[in-house]
Amino acid sequence: MKIKLTFWRAVFLVIMAMGLYSTFVRYFHGLGAISNMSDQFPWGLWIGFDCLCGVMLAAGGFCVIGAVYLFNVERLHSVVRPAVLTAFLGYLLFIVGLLFDLGRPWYIWHQLIYMNPHSVMFEVGMCVMAYTTVLFFEFLPNVFEKFNLNAPIKWIKRIYPVLIVLGILLSTLHQSSLGSLYLIMPGKLHPFWYTPALPFLFFGSAIAVGLAMTIFESTQSAKAFGRHLELPVLVSLGGALLVALWVNALLRFEDYFHRGMLGQIIKPSYEAYFLWLELILAFVIPITMLSFRKVRLSPQGLYLASIFTVLGFITNRLNVSLTGFETYVGHHYLPKWTEFSVTLMIIAMGFALFGVAVKYLPIFPEEEHTVNTVLVKARQPEVDEPVLSHAGD
């Protein structure tokens, strides 16, 4: 265990060192020096992975919050805090990623004053800003609880219903709008991926990946922090994931069917290989696995199925943002190593911050008995001051 830890710390240091070097290149020599982006490929790995995939990977927060607070899935209570933490860190790191990708990041606040309501990018920007704020408030009770500040916990408890509804509303908007970004490129994006259904597909995949990521991170945390794995939690998540995957698969099929693409997608071509890879990873493997009851009841099986799901939908988004443009542009885009190193650094920061937060904040319940008080209290409004009492009269 100790050797393993030092190994990962060494890896972390190497990644950070390379990342810092790349950061230097980025800010002192410009985007051209650090990346293989060009006038033909103005959006590269950072938009494709850091932004599109990053936001999708952070979707667990609103999925779990929705399940627990809207649909009363009590069993998932113990994963609310880690899911909110992951989402909060995910969005913070998304913004860090933007600071690398934007040509003039020091003007990022222009969004707030030079608003263009016709722009999908504007909508995504505003939603991400607002949602990060919501996540901040959803995350705050961890800090207050740590320092035994009961008054502010009470305030947050009061606004919790608003935070929940607002968080899910904003997530619906920007998760789907990331797909809408590409609607304006009908002549450029390959027809395998260009479809008017893009916003629906992006929202659907966010839910599937949100659930898969929650399984992944629960299992991973159990391993890393020596916690015992709550199988009923994973099992319910696995069941939901299977449903989400089927819905996604049906959406994709319907889309190809209605656009008459079924004949084309089975014909071998450069794009078809990437599409097959995506479909196999995102649908064929995890759906097959999860169809077996034995897999749905086994932590390892669920863990593996969730990894395939995540990899599959990452492939999907990279296809939408990178592969799908290669034929139009006429050449391939391969990120420079410095682009990779920035992305790796951001991921490594995410893991490190998660570890720090878990170490110092009450993210995971100590054991089943010492319940996480804030959220449970928020869930069970006292009769004398019910949270939404006026709405019921």
Q: Write out the residues near other proteins by the rule CB under 8 A.
A: 27-33, 37-40, 42-43, 69-72, 101-105, 107-108, 110-111, 114-123, 125, 161, 164-166, 168-169, 172-173, 177, 180-181, 183-188, 196, 199, 379-383, 386-389, 391-392
How far CA 283 is from CA of 60, 160, 345, 368, in Å, comes to 19, 35, 30, 35
Cβ proximity to other proteins: between 91 and 303 the closer is 91
Say if CB 333 and CB 36 are below 8 A apart. Answer: yes
State whether residue 62 is helix, strand or coil: helix
Sign of CA dihedral 135, 213, 75, 249: positive
Contact present, 136 and 85 (Cβ < 8 Å): no
Closer CB to other proteins, 175 or 306, in the complex: 175
Smallest distance, Å, CB 157 to other proteins?
A: 13
Shortest CB 207 distance to other proteins, Å? 15
Q: Which two tokens stand for residue 64?
A: 């779990």
Q: Which of 142, 151, 202 is nearest to 178 (CA)?
A: 202
Q: Which of 180/218 has CB closer to other proteins?
A: 180
Nearest-approach distance from CB 354 to other proteins, in angstroms: 28
Of the candidates 310, 301, 143, 313, the residue with the CA atom closest to the CA atom of residue 229 = 301
Judged by beta carbon, residue 227 or residue 379, the one nearer other proteins is 379
5 C-beta neighbours (distance < 10 Å), count: 10
Of 290 and 378, CB closest to other proteins: 378
CB of 66 to other proteins, least distance (A): 8
Count of other CB atoms within 10 angstroms of residue 274? 21
- Which residue lies nearer to other proteins by CB, 93 or 348? 93
Q: Which of 34, 49, 60, 98 is nearest to 347 (CA)?
A: 49
316 contacts 63 by C-beta, under 8 angstroms: no
Name the residue nearer to other proteins (CB basis): 29 or 331. Answer: 29
The pair of structure tokens assigned to 52 is 């599109």
Q: DSSP letter string over 70-101? A: IS--GGGGGGHHHHHHHHHHHHHHHHHHHHHH
Residue number, 57 or 164, with CB nearest to other proteins: 164
Structure tokens at 382: 């006292």
